[in-house]
Structure 1
Amino acid sequence: MTALLREVIGDVLRRARIEQGRTLREVSDSARVSLGYLSEVERGRKEASSELLGAICGALDVPLSRVLSEAGDELAIEESRAAVSDVATTHIDVSTKVVIPQVVSMAVA
Protein backbone atom coordinates (compact mmCIF):
# COMPACT_ATOMS: atom_id res chain seq x y z
CA MET A 1 0.00 0.00 0.00
CA THR A 2 1.23 3.46 -0.83
CA ALA A 3 1.97 5.81 2.06
CA LEU A 4 -0.39 8.66 2.82
CA LEU A 5 0.70 12.17 1.88
CA ARG A 6 0.44 13.31 5.50
CA GLU A 7 2.85 10.54 6.55
CA VAL A 8 5.41 11.48 3.93
CA ILE A 9 5.17 15.20 4.72
CA GLY A 10 5.62 14.37 8.40
CA ASP A 11 8.74 12.37 7.62
CA VAL A 12 10.20 15.26 5.60
CA LEU A 13 9.47 17.75 8.39
CA ARG A 14 10.96 15.47 11.07
CA ARG A 15 14.13 14.93 9.01
CA ALA A 16 14.54 18.69 8.55
CA ARG A 17 14.13 19.30 12.28
CA ILE A 18 16.55 16.54 13.26
CA GLU A 19 19.13 17.68 10.68
CA GLN A 20 19.03 21.08 12.37
CA GLY A 21 19.50 19.47 15.78
CA ARG A 22 16.31 21.06 17.09
CA THR A 23 13.76 19.66 19.50
CA LEU A 24 10.03 19.42 18.99
CA ARG A 25 9.59 22.04 21.72
CA GLU A 26 11.89 24.54 19.97
CA VAL A 27 10.08 24.19 16.66
CA SER A 28 6.61 24.16 18.20
CA ASP A 29 7.37 27.36 20.16
CA SER A 30 8.78 29.06 17.08
CA ALA A 31 5.87 27.96 14.88
CA ARG A 32 3.33 28.76 17.63
CA VAL A 33 1.91 25.25 17.35
CA SER A 34 1.33 22.95 20.31
CA LEU A 35 4.07 20.43 20.86
CA GLY A 36 1.56 17.56 20.80
CA TYR A 37 0.07 18.68 17.50
CA LEU A 38 3.50 19.09 15.88
CA SER A 39 4.38 15.58 17.06
CA GLU A 40 1.17 14.24 15.51
CA VAL A 41 1.95 16.00 12.22
CA GLU A 42 5.49 14.57 12.14
CA ARG A 43 4.15 11.07 12.78
CA GLY A 44 1.60 11.44 9.98
CA ARG A 45 -1.38 11.17 12.31
CA LYS A 46 -2.71 14.67 11.67
CA GLU A 47 -3.20 16.32 8.31
CA ALA A 48 -1.86 19.84 8.69
CA SER A 49 -3.52 22.76 6.92
CA SER A 50 -1.49 24.82 4.48
CA GLU A 51 -1.29 27.62 7.08
CA LEU A 52 0.07 25.24 9.69
CA LEU A 53 2.57 23.74 7.25
CA GLY A 54 3.66 27.27 6.38
CA ALA A 55 4.20 28.08 10.07
CA ILE A 56 6.20 24.90 10.66
CA CYS A 57 8.30 25.48 7.55
CA GLY A 58 8.89 29.08 8.64
CA ALA A 59 10.04 27.88 12.05
CA LEU A 60 12.39 25.42 10.37
CA ASP A 61 13.50 28.02 7.80
CA VAL A 62 12.70 25.51 5.06
CA PRO A 63 10.61 26.58 2.06
CA LEU A 64 7.21 24.88 1.90
CA SER A 65 7.90 24.20 -1.78
CA ARG A 66 10.95 22.14 -0.80
CA VAL A 67 8.95 20.08 1.71
CA LEU A 68 6.23 19.42 -0.85
CA SER A 69 8.77 18.64 -3.57
CA GLU A 70 10.62 16.13 -1.37
CA ALA A 71 7.33 14.58 -0.32
CA GLY A 72 6.30 14.27 -3.98
CA ASP A 73 9.61 12.65 -4.88
CA GLU A 74 9.24 10.13 -2.05
CA LEU A 75 5.66 9.32 -3.04
CA ALA A 76 6.73 8.78 -6.65
CA ILE A 77 9.43 6.34 -5.56
CA GLU A 78 6.98 4.47 -3.35
CA GLU A 79 4.36 4.33 -6.10
CA SER A 80 6.87 2.92 -8.58
CA ARG A 81 7.93 0.28 -6.04
CA ALA A 82 4.29 -0.65 -5.50
CA ALA A 83 3.71 -0.89 -9.26
CA VAL A 84 6.72 -3.19 -9.69
CA SER A 85 5.53 -5.29 -6.76
CA ASP A 86 2.01 -5.54 -8.25
CA VAL A 87 3.39 -6.66 -11.61
CA ALA A 88 5.60 -9.26 -9.95
CA THR A 89 2.75 -10.73 -7.93
CA THR A 90 0.19 -10.73 -10.73
CA HIS A 91 2.34 -12.28 -13.44
CA ILE A 92 0.38 -14.78 -15.49
CA ASP A 93 2.19 -17.24 -17.69
CA VAL A 94 0.51 -16.99 -21.10
CA SER A 95 1.20 -20.66 -21.76
CA THR A 96 -1.02 -21.68 -18.83
CA LYS A 97 -4.37 -23.04 -19.92
CA VAL A 98 -7.37 -22.43 -17.72
CA VAL A 99 -10.60 -24.34 -18.09
CA ILE A 100 -13.67 -22.53 -16.83
CA PRO A 101 -16.56 -24.94 -16.28
CA GLN A 102 -19.94 -24.15 -17.81
CA VAL A 103 -22.43 -22.62 -15.41
CA VAL A 104 -25.29 -25.00 -14.63
CA SER A 105 -28.41 -23.50 -13.20
CA MET A 106 -30.24 -25.47 -10.61
CA ALA A 107 -33.87 -25.08 -9.79
CA VAL A 108 -34.57 -24.69 -6.12
CA ALA A 109 -37.99 -25.71 -4.84
Structure 2
Amino acid sequence: MAVLLREVIGDVLRDARTSQGRTLREVSDTARVSLGYLSEVERGRKEASSELLGAICTALDVQLSRVLTDAGEKMADRERMARLTSVPPADNVIDVATKVVIPQPVAMAVA
Protein backbone atom coordinates (compact mmCIF):
# COMPACT_ATOMS: atom_id res chain seq x y z
CA MET A 1 0.00 0.00 0.00
CA ALA A 2 1.28 3.46 -0.87
CA VAL A 3 2.42 5.85 1.80
CA LEU A 4 0.20 8.95 1.81
CA LEU A 5 1.73 12.35 2.50
CA ARG A 6 -1.35 13.56 4.36
CA GLU A 7 -1.02 10.70 6.85
CA VAL A 8 2.65 11.42 7.50
CA ILE A 9 2.05 15.17 7.92
CA GLY A 10 -0.78 14.37 10.33
CA ASP A 11 1.55 12.20 12.39
CA VAL A 12 4.16 14.96 12.55
CA LEU A 13 1.56 17.55 13.61
CA ARG A 14 0.12 15.25 16.27
CA ASP A 15 3.63 14.49 17.60
CA ALA A 16 4.37 18.22 17.83
CA ARG A 17 1.10 18.92 19.65
CA THR A 18 1.36 16.04 22.11
CA SER A 19 5.02 16.76 22.87
CA GLN A 20 3.88 20.23 23.97
CA GLY A 21 1.16 18.69 26.15
CA ARG A 22 -1.55 20.60 24.29
CA THR A 23 -5.05 19.48 23.43
CA LEU A 24 -6.71 19.51 20.03
CA ARG A 25 -9.07 22.19 21.34
CA GLU A 26 -6.23 24.50 22.39
CA VAL A 27 -4.52 24.24 19.01
CA SER A 28 -7.75 24.50 17.02
CA ASP A 29 -8.75 27.65 18.92
CA THR A 30 -5.34 29.26 18.39
CA ALA A 31 -5.17 28.26 14.71
CA ARG A 32 -8.82 29.24 14.16
CA VAL A 33 -9.53 25.82 12.65
CA SER A 34 -12.47 23.67 13.66
CA LEU A 35 -11.68 20.98 16.18
CA GLY A 36 -13.12 18.28 13.93
CA TYR A 37 -11.12 19.37 10.91
CA LEU A 38 -7.87 19.52 12.88
CA SER A 39 -8.57 16.02 14.16
CA GLU A 40 -9.14 14.80 10.59
CA VAL A 41 -5.86 16.40 9.47
CA GLU A 42 -3.93 14.76 12.32
CA ARG A 43 -5.45 11.36 11.48
CA GLY A 44 -4.48 11.76 7.83
CA ARG A 45 -8.10 11.77 6.65
CA LYS A 46 -8.03 15.32 5.24
CA GLU A 47 -5.44 16.97 3.02
CA ALA A 48 -4.68 20.35 4.58
CA SER A 49 -4.05 23.36 2.34
CA SER A 50 -0.79 25.27 2.70
CA GLU A 51 -2.70 28.10 4.42
CA LEU A 52 -4.21 25.71 6.94
CA LEU A 53 -0.86 24.03 7.58
CA GLY A 54 0.67 27.46 8.12
CA ALA A 55 -2.02 28.36 10.67
CA ILE A 56 -1.57 25.07 12.53
CA CYS A 57 2.21 25.46 12.56
CA THR A 58 1.90 29.03 13.87
CA ALA A 59 -0.43 27.80 16.62
CA LEU A 60 2.10 25.10 17.51
CA ASP A 61 5.02 27.55 17.23
CA VAL A 62 6.70 25.16 14.81
CA GLN A 63 8.10 26.18 11.44
CA LEU A 64 6.26 24.76 8.45
CA SER A 65 9.60 23.86 6.88
CA ARG A 66 10.40 21.74 9.97
CA VAL A 67 7.07 19.89 9.68
CA LEU A 68 7.65 19.23 5.98
CA THR A 69 11.24 18.10 6.57
CA ASP A 70 10.19 15.74 9.35
CA ALA A 71 7.35 14.43 7.19
CA GLY A 72 9.73 13.85 4.28
CA GLU A 73 12.10 11.88 6.50
CA LYS A 74 9.26 9.79 7.95
CA MET A 75 7.87 9.16 4.49
CA ALA A 76 11.27 8.01 3.22
CA ASP A 77 11.56 5.63 6.19
CA ARG A 78 8.09 4.18 5.52
CA GLU A 79 8.80 3.77 1.81
CA ARG A 80 12.09 2.05 2.60
CA MET A 81 10.33 -0.34 4.99
CA ALA A 82 7.61 -1.03 2.43
CA ARG A 83 10.24 -1.89 -0.18
CA LEU A 84 12.07 -4.20 2.20
CA THR A 85 8.94 -6.07 3.22
CA SER A 86 7.28 -6.34 -0.17
CA VAL A 87 7.59 -9.53 -2.18
CA PRO A 88 8.51 -8.89 -5.80
CA PRO A 89 6.34 -10.70 -8.35
CA ALA A 90 7.93 -13.80 -9.82
CA ASP A 91 8.64 -13.50 -13.54
CA ASN A 92 7.10 -15.94 -15.99
CA VAL A 93 5.14 -17.83 -13.35
CA ILE A 94 1.45 -18.53 -13.82
CA ASP A 95 -0.55 -18.74 -10.64
CA VAL A 96 -2.13 -22.19 -10.27
CA ALA A 97 -5.52 -20.52 -9.84
CA THR A 98 -5.24 -18.89 -13.26
CA LYS A 99 -7.42 -20.56 -15.88
CA VAL A 100 -6.42 -20.32 -19.51
CA VAL A 101 -9.04 -20.93 -22.18
CA ILE A 102 -7.76 -21.91 -25.59
CA PRO A 103 -10.45 -21.60 -28.26
CA GLN A 104 -11.11 -24.45 -30.67
CA PRO A 105 -9.66 -23.92 -34.15
CA VAL A 106 -12.19 -22.67 -36.66
CA ALA A 107 -12.15 -23.64 -40.33
CA MET A 108 -12.10 -20.56 -42.51
CA ALA A 109 -13.62 -20.39 -45.97
CA VAL A 110 -11.33 -19.23 -48.73
CA ALA A 111 -12.91 -17.27 -51.53
Task: Name the structure 1 match of 2:65.
Answer: 65
Residues 66-107 of structure 1, C-alpha deviations (whole Å, 9 max, x = no match)? 100010001101111111223xx2386xxxxx7xxxxx6622
Unaligned runs of 5+ in 2: 94-101
Aligned residue for 2:23? 23
2:61 alignment partner AA: D
Taking only aligned residues, the RMSD between alpha carbons, in angstroms, comes to 2.3
Taking structure 1 as the reference length, the TM-score comes to 0.81
Counterpart of 2:55?
A: 55
Aligned length: 99
Match of 2:46 in 1: 46
Rounded to whole Å, the distance in 1 between the matches of 2:106 and 2:78 is: 51
> What are the within-5 Å matches in structure 2 for residues 9-20 of structure 1?
9-20=9-20
Instruction: Report sequence identity in percent.
Output: 70
What is the TM-score when the length of structure 2 is the normalising length?
0.80
Greater Rg, structure 1 or structure 2? 2
CA distance in structure 1 between the partners assigned to 2:48 and 2:22 by the alignment: 20
Higher helix share: 1
